[in-house]
A and B are shown apart, each in its own frame.
Chain A
Amino acid sequence: MFVILTYDVGVDRVNKIRKLLKKYLTWTQNSVFEGEITKGKLDKCLSEVEKIVDKNHDSIYIYTIRSTKFISKNILGNEKSFDELFL
């Protein structure tokens, strides 16, 4: 499935969260990650996230789309590092 994950966390946790999410998804914008991921991997990822965040102050939104057929993505301006086959 395809996931878009956004986060709003306290300053001292921003870097921790970003570094962790980088292992699983592609960093597309400040505090936005997206990418293809399996259910199991996402659960694993979120359980790691839970250890870092402070549930009273921070929030993490996870949008999941089962099939990528029904999303379209348009970009205005600069496209930042999007996942590609070639490097």
Chain B
Amino acid sequence: MNKDYYIFSHGRLKRKDNTVYFIDGGDNKRSLPIEQVDKLHLFGEIDLNSKLLNFLPRFGVMLNFYNYYGYYSGTYYPREKNVSGFMKVKQAEYYNNHESRLFLAKTFVDSATHHILRNLRRYEEVSKEVIEGIEKERNNIETTDEISKLMGVEGRIRKWYYKSFNEILKNGFKMNKREKRPPNDPVNSLISFGNSLMYTTVLGEIYKTQVDPTISFLHEPSTKRFSLSLDLAEIFKPLIIDSVVFKLINNRMIKKDHFDNEEGICFLNEKGKKKFISEYDKKLKTTIKHRKLKRKVSYQMFIRLECYKLIKHFIEDQTYKSLKAWW
């Protein structure tokens, strides 16, 4: 499987010898084997030229940019190769029909809830009350008839969920409330950073298939963002990001000095980001034996399989059944 590279140093990225070179501020050169690159993530201050930008699409390499605080700011992606007008029309049809849109939105939320409960059940410290509360709320998913009401259900489930974080997290990490804009404590900043990585990973997988990233079902498709990746990320956030967060904190892998605080904004510093990313990368590459495919499948591949299942759903081959971790 192709690799992701994360660039934190300041420097210059260029094309040389038909591959990619990174030259850092200290004039150290490194060549990256282009055939083995999946995505490049740029966290540092990096110069690049159009020669490189013309070269990367030939190998389908995406460039993801993140700002100073580690938030996703945008992507340079290859001219779309997997275009299918047929698929796009079908996908839009599903969005336009209230019933079928609601069906997909519900399965996303249901799958997310399944993974939330799966996380909570792993920890004895979590009170029965929380689990029962979420289970009760989960029953409401089926009966809602409006996307906005579904979002409400999802919000209440998340509220229970985040409340129980304090029971799971050890070593002096506490979270009062999920705070996004901007995150104000270490746990919130971990979740935010993780979610923006999740978003780019999902987007990268969507591009490998024919589904259109802008037509979404749970989130309102609007302009300026690829909202289908938000939909799919919903399923994988509790499964991947939250379990990485728990692991990092409870095993004392991440400490208070991995965070910087600037005027109420809490964010991971470079060391912290690297810790998080290497754990995240390991998680994505972890494989599980797939029941139907009868071979080992990585978490990253599971994301792409969701897209394929959506395609099958859109062309009315097989009804979409969202991923529910069985292991």
Contact = CB atoms under 8 A, between A and B. Distances in A.
Interface of A: 19-20, 22-27, 35-37, 41, 44-45, 81, 83, 85-87
B22 A85 contact: no
B281 A85 contact: yes
10 contacts: A22-B18, A23-B33, A23-B34, A25-B33, A25-B36, A41-B36, A44-B35, A45-B35, A86-B7, A86-B274
Please tell me the size bucket of the interface on B: 20 to 34
A87 B281 CA distance: 15
Contacts of A87: 5-9, 22, 24, 30
Interface of B: 3-9, 17-19, 22, 24, 30-31, 33-36, 274, 277-278, 281
Contacts of B33: 22-26, 35
Given A22-B19, A24-B36, A37-B36, A85 B5 contact: yes
B6 A85 contact: yes
B130 to A, nearest CB: 36
Nearest to A86: B6
Q: Is the interface of B mostly helix, strand, loop or mixed?
A: mixed
Contact of A19 (B7, B17, B281): B17
Listed from nearest, the 3 A-B pairs whose CB atoms lie closest are: A19-B17, A87-B7, A23-B19
B119 to A, nearest CB: 26
A19 B8 contact: no
Contacts of B17: 19, 22-23
Contacts of A19: 17-18
A85 B36 CA distance: 12
Nearest to A15: B17
A35 B2 CA distance: 11
Contacts of B278: 85-86
Contacts of A25: 33, 36
B191 to A, nearest CB: 22
Contacts of A44: 35
Nearest to B34: A23
A23 B2 CA distance: 13
A20 B18 CA distance: 8
A86 B30 CA distance: 11
Q: Which of A22, A25, A41 has the most CB of B within 10 A?
A: A22
